[in-house]
């Protein structure tokens, strides 16, 4: 919601600046937490390492929720450590409020609140402190879950709906729930949920051994692995096992364990809210041991290598945007290079009637289309069923008419002369039948691209040419409506 406020008050410039500032917040909090244990130089080094982490570069400037959630996580940890030190219920309440903001931002916040609450309970006077923390977290973050329950009957929709096979509704059916679960399992569960994979997940991610974890270009880099031996050696010393280290590491350990075995998506960047806890737990212990063991120079070398690699990655990542800034490229040209289907969105905004309502499937166009629209995502909704096996013409037409859709933007070159049997996917075979019958009329076609990597295309990465088509609904030609 803060992005909406920034956009309303200052337009696109304010929105972009706010994305930048909120992307920095977690790094500033890492500096604050590190400064309680380390000198200015060490603390700045840690903050810069986080700021240049690939996952932060990826999500910081484009408004993704993970790095903003990391700020709430760090603020919660800061208050929690202070609350333990001062035996302050008010600080536990503040820690709970910050945790509640993550709770309200994403379902993963449930894991964080649970992990944090467990750590609070395991300390002296844990029950009362846990009640204060938990109540504050629920108060700050319950609104989205209440909205879900009010509109779907499931506070964590669609998790309970699918788990307990609740009755079909207009927005979710048991058949679609099974398809959704299978799609998530096939596309997001890269690793079997075994003890071995849980143990080696960091290695598989950091070295990009399992590419579908996306631990390469949008991962956490090599720093945590490089300092791990020094940190463990430091934590073996009794004087280093302080709350400032143990609390964040314990919460991160519990969170990762529940996250991994829960069956949720296994992409590394989803762990970004927790990654700073690893840094503030390991790095001070590594510095302390390096000082005692006369290993400061190797540790400085590790920091230098990490920053060199990550700043080099940042330079490569920035090349695409530097081209726009320094070449005189127009916005439309920039969108055309970086957003598949952008030329179609621009045409739609110019040419479709004001009262048209567009159905589209590619989510990257949601912010580019000005006409009233509905995103017919094939994996996330069933209001207009566009899943691969949806092939009932009359049902589809009834659904789109209920949503008031008049036009569609669909990938492919849709011509009347093509036989439906050319399409192996039942949904697209149905679309072809509707085109052949005249129910869907071709309005305009576009040549576009499938971008394999926006970052690497500036260095010779290849794009795949594709096509999009705008179709218009001609109701009198549709099956069952003549």
**pLDDT tens profile 78-95:** 999 999 999 899 999 999
pLDDT exceeds 70 at position 482: no
pLDDT in tens, 367-403: 899 999 999 999 989 999 999 999 999 999 999 999 9
pLDDT exceeds 70 at position 441: yes
CA torsion angle 190 221 340 440 (round to 10): 20
Q: 3-state DSSP: the chain helix, strand, coil percent, rounded to 5?
A: 65, 5, 30
Q: What is the pLDDT of residue 457?
A: 58
Q: What is the pLDDT of residue 184?
A: 86
Neighbour tally for 211: CB within 10 Å: 11
Q: Which long-range contacts (CB under 8 A, 24 or more apart) does 292-298 make?
A: 293/233, 295/230
pLDDT exceeds 70 at position 461: no
Whole-number Å distance between alpha carbons of 378 and 430: 14
Please provide the average confidence, as pLDDT, over all residues in the chain: 91
pLDDT in tens, 330-349: 988 898 888 899 999 999 99
Q: Which CATH number fits domain 340-477: 3.30.1360, 1.10.3470, 1.20.1180, 3.40.50?
A: 3.40.50
Cβ atoms of 137 and 113 closer than 8 Å:
yes
Scanning 153-271, the segments in alpha helix (DSSP H) are 159-163, 174-188, 195-206, 223-235, 243-261
pLDDT exceeds 60 at position 278: yes
Q: What is the pLDDT of residue 336?
A: 86
Confidence of residue 236 (pLDDT cuts 50, 70, 90): confident
pLDDT exceeds 80 at position 434: yes
Rounded (10°) angle between helices 126-141 and 108-121:
160
Q: Which range is least confidently modeled, 153-167, 326-340, 432-446, 447-461?
A: 447-461
pLDDT in tens, 146-183: 999 999 999 999 888 888 878 888 888 888 988 988 88
Q: What is the pLDDT of residue 275?
A: 98
Q: What residues does CATH 3.40.50 cover in the chain?
A: 340-477
Cα distance between the two ends of the chain: 45
Q: What is the pLDDT of residue 51?
A: 96
């Amino acid at each position: 919601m803060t992005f909406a406020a920034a956009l309303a008050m200052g337009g696109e410039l304010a929105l972009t600046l706010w994305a930048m500032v909120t992307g920095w917040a977690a790094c500033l909090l890492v500096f604050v937490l590190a400064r309680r244990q380390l000198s200015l130089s060490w603390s700045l080094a840690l903050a810069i390492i986080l700021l240049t982490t690939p996952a932060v570069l990826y999500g910081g400037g484009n408004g993704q929720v993970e790095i903003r959630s990391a700020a709430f996580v760090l603020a919660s940890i800061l208050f929690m450590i202070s609350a333990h030190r001062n035996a302050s219920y008010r600080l536990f309440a503040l820690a709970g409020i910050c945790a509640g903001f993550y709770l309200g931002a994403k379902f993963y916040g449930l894991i964080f609140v649970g992990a944090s609450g467990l750590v609070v309970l395991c300390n002296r006077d844990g029950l009362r402190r846990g009640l204060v923390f938990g109540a504050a977290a629920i108060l700050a973050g319950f609104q989205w879950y209440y909205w879900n329950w009010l509109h779907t009957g499931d506070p964590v929709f669609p998790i309970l709906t699918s788990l307990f096979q609740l009755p079909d509704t207009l927005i979710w059916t048991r058949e679609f729930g099974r398809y959704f679960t299978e799609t998530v399992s096939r596309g997001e569960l890269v690793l079997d949920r075994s003890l071995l994979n849980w143990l080696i997940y960091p290695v598989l991610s950091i070295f990009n051994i399992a590419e579908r974890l996306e631990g390469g270009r949008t991962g956490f880099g090599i720093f945590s692995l490089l300092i791990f031996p020094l940190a463990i050696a430091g934590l073996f010393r009794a004087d280093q096992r302080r709350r400032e280290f143990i609390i964040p590491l314990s919460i991160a350990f519990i969170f990762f364990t529940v996250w991994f075995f829960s069956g949720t998506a296994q992409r590394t960047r989803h762990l970004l809210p927790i990654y700073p806890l690893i840094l503030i737990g390991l790095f001070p212990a590594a510095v302390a041991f390096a000082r005692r063991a006369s290993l400061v120079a190797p540790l400085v070398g590790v920091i230098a290598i990490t920053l060199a690699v990550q700043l080099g990655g940042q330079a490569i990542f920035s090349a695409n945007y530097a081209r726009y800034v320094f070449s005189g490229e127009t916005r439309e040209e920039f969108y055309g290079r970086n957003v598949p289907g952008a030329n179609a969105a621009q045409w739609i905004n110019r040419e479709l009637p004001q009262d048209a309502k567009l159905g589209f499937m590619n989510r990257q166009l949601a912010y580019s289309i000005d006409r009233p629209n509905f995103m017919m995502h094939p994996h996330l909704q069933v209001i207009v069923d566009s899943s691969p096996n949806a092939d009932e013409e009359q049902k589809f037409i009834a659904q789109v008419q209920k949503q008031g859709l008049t036009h569609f933007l669909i990938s492919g070159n849709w011509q009347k002369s093509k036989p439906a049997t050319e399409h192996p996917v039942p949904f697209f075979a149905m679309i072809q039948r509707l085109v052949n019958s005249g129910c869907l009329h071709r309005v305009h076609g576009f040549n576009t691209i499938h971008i394999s990597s926006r970052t690497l295309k500036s260095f010779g990465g290849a794009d795949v040419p594709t096509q999009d088509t705008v179709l218009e609904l001609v109701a009198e030609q549709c099956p069952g409506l003549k």
